[in-house]
Structure 1
Amino acid sequence: MRLSFLEPLYKQPGPFASVYLDTSRDAAIDDPDTAIELRWRRLRDALMSEGADRDSVTAVGGTVGSDTDVPGTHGQAVFTAHGHLALLDELPAPPARDTAHFGTLPDTMPLIIQHAPGIPYLAVQVHYSGRHSTDASGTVRIEAEAGVWPLTKVTPGHRLDAEIPVTDWTHAAGEVGRELEGHARRIDVETVVVAGDVWARGILVHRLPASLRRQVTTVEGAGGSQPVRALLEQQLDDLFRGRMAAHDRMLLDAFLAERARDGASAEGLAPAVSGLQRGRVKALFLNNHPESPFHLWVGPESGQLALAEQELRSYGIGEVSEERADAALARALVGTRAELVVVPEQELWLSEGVGVLLRYADPASRA
């Protein structure tokens, strides 16, 4: 996963107020606005107790709950600094618990985790309920969305909506397929998910360009049509649960291959920090441990991180602070343009929850 979406945040000076809040508005909540306000009050008190400046706290308060147009269960991640909004991101799912933190670095790892697995996909719903014949009356309606899962739950992807007379469907399906290919190519989709009437969708699938047809998975059931929730959301949730994006899987396979031959890979916090300090990390692999006890020392620049305060002091860095390891690692990944791959622990256990694929092996380690 590339973390370029965080670059604007790290270009701003801290300290930062970082807030994760459940802002769900669904049928199970009688008065969501009041519920959100009560949650925010508790977090506001927590920020003030950590020494947050009043302007930054006020900036958070003016933002939480602003996603009134997003239906269903979801959340918000809000980052402010020096009284200004630094980053706002809608969360596809409510945070496991509401949290607030004030510190030198923004607490971005919970946001990053919600961006995973980051699978680019195309969802297509074929609506038709008439007689299965091209001389029948009625129309075939196509809804399609190209997006990245799971962000399209709260941030719509590019949508296509077309209605075609069933008498023209055999010919028009080829044109629709070529249009879908254009949308898919823009985000390099790895899966095409098709649902709807079996006869009508079958004609479409057989007329898709070969590049898309090889990626098709058909699913049953109808998808919702809310403009700010993902098309075929439930089907996609079932299909992608526990799955890694193809690009991340490729990186993981490369890491495992290098590890098998003692090549350009390492596990543990110390080698990960060393690699990031020198800009040698191509990808960092992480077992998600929200309650991890590990901390690192950091300086003002992204590559300034260390296991011990004295190491940074020895480099002549005067402004240092102790931060959560995941916050320090996230900033270093963004600053060095390295990628992050979240790996379920049951699939691969990593020493101290961290592994790195290096850009090149250390010659000294081969001596």
Structure 2
Amino acid sequence: MRLSFLEPLYKQPGPYASVYLDTSRHSAIDDPDAAVDLSRRHLRNALASEGADQASITAAADAVGGDMDIPGVHGQAVFTAHGRLALLDELPTPPAHDTAHFGTLPDTMPLIVQHSPEIPYVAVHVHYGGRHSTDATGTVRIEAEIGVWPLTKVTPGHRLNEEIPVTDWLNAAKVLGGELEGHARRINAEEVVVAGDVWARGILVRRLPAPLRGRVTTVEGAGESQPRRALLEHRLESLFSGRMAEHDRSLLAGFLAQRARDGASAEGLAEAVSALQRGQVKALFLNNHPESPLRLWIGPEPSQLALTEQELRSYGIQDIREERADAALTRALVDTRAELVVVPEQQLRLHDGVGVLLRYADPTPRT
């Protein structure tokens, strides 16, 4: 996963207020606005208890709940620094518990996990309820979305909406297929998910360009789409659950291949820190453990991280803080434009929960 979406956050100097909260608005909540107001008051108290400045607390509180137009379950991640909003992002899934943290580094790992697996896709719903013949009256209505899962649950992708007379459907389907291929190529779509009337969607699928046709999955019972929610959301949820993006799987395969021959890879927190200090990391692999006790010492610059305070002081660094290991690692990854892949522990258990694929192998064996 590329972490470019975090770059604006680190352009702001810390310390940071980091807030995650449930801002859902759905029928199970009697008064969602009152619930959000209550969460806002709680986050104010929580940030104040952690020593946050009043300006940053106010900026965070003011940003909360500005997503009233998003239906269904969702959440928000809010980051402020020195009284200014540093980053605001919608969460496809609300956090299990509202949290507020104030510290030298932003608490970004819950947001990164919410962006995963970042699967680019095209979803198409073919609406038609008439006679299965191209000489019938009526129209075929097309809804399509070009998006990245799961972010489109709360941030709509590019949408296409067309109505085509049934008599023109054979020719129009070929034209539409070419248009969809262009969009799919632009985002390197892994999957084309097609729902709707079996006859009408079959004509479209058969007229898709061959490269796109090989990525088609048809689904049933799509239901009507909601504004500001992903097209075919529930079907995509089932299809993509537990899946890694092809790009991340490729990086993981590279890591495993290098590890098998003692090549350009390393495992363990100490090895990862050493590689990040040298700007050597191409991708870091992480078993996500929100309650992990692992800590690192950091200086003002992203590459200034170490296992001990003494190591940083030996480099002449004076302004030193101890922070969560995942927060320190993420800052260094963003600075060096390395990638991060969250790997389920049941798929691959890493030493210290950390492994790295290196940009180049060390000239001499590591000891």
**Which TM-score band (shorter chain)?**
over 0.9
SS at match of 1:364: coil
1:134 aligns with 2:140: no
2:42, 2:61 → 1: CA distance? 12
1:310 aligns with 2:307: no
1:20 aligns with 2:20: yes
1:38, 1:231 → 2: CA distance? 32
2:332, 2:366 → 1: CA distance? 26
Moved segments of 4+, more than 4 Å? none
CA contact (8 A) 2:17 2:80 kept: yes
SS at match of 1:102: strand
Identity %: 78
Instruction: Report what 1:294 is aligned to.
Output: 294
1:109, 1:116 → 2: CA distance? 11
Instruction: Report what 2:230 is aligned to.
Output: 230
State the 1:48 CA deviation: 0.5
If the length of structure 1 is used for normalisation, what is the TM-score?
A: 0.98
Instruction: Report what 1:177 is aligned to.
Output: 177
Instruction: Report what 1:204 is aligned to.
Output: 204
SS at match of 1:365: coil
Instruction: Report what 1:220 is aligned to.
Output: 220
Instruction: Report what 2:57 is aligned to.
Output: 57
Instruction: Report what 1:75 is aligned to.
Output: 75
State the 1:43 CA deviation: 2.0
State the 1:225 CA deviation: 2.3
Structure 2 unaligned regions, length at least 5: none
Instruction: Report what 2:257 is aligned to.
Output: 257
The code of the aligned residue for 1:90 comes to E
Structure 1 unaligned regions, length at least 5: none
State the 1:224 CA deviation: 3.2
1:366, 1:154 → 2: CA distance? 45
SS at match of 2:231: coil
Sort the Cα spacing of 1:205 and 1:279 in 2 relative to 1 into closer, same or farther, 3 A: same
CA contact (8 A) 2:14 2:105 kept: yes
Q: How does 1:13-52 map to 2 (within 5 A)?
A: 13-52=13-52
Aligned length: 367
Offset from partner CA, 1:295-321 (integer Å, 9 cap, x none): 111111111111111111111111110
1:12, 1:38 → 2: CA distance? 28
2:298, 2:227 → 1: CA distance? 42
State the 1:366 CA deviation: 6.8
CA contact (8 A) 1:223 1:231 kept: no
Offset from partner CA, 1:226-274 (integer Å, 9 cap, x none): 2310000000000000000000000000111111111111111100111
Larger displacement relative to structure 2 (201-210 or 175-184): 175-184
1:152, 1:224 → 2: CA distance? 16
1:156, 1:89 → 2: CA distance? 13
Instruction: Report what 1:280 is aligned to.
Output: 280
SS at match of 2:155: coil
2:228, 2:192 → 1: CA distance? 20
CA RMSD for the aligned pairs? 1.0
State the 1:27 CA deviation: 0.7
SS at match of 2:46: helix
SS at match of 1:208: coil
Instruction: Report what 1:87 is aligned to.
Output: 87
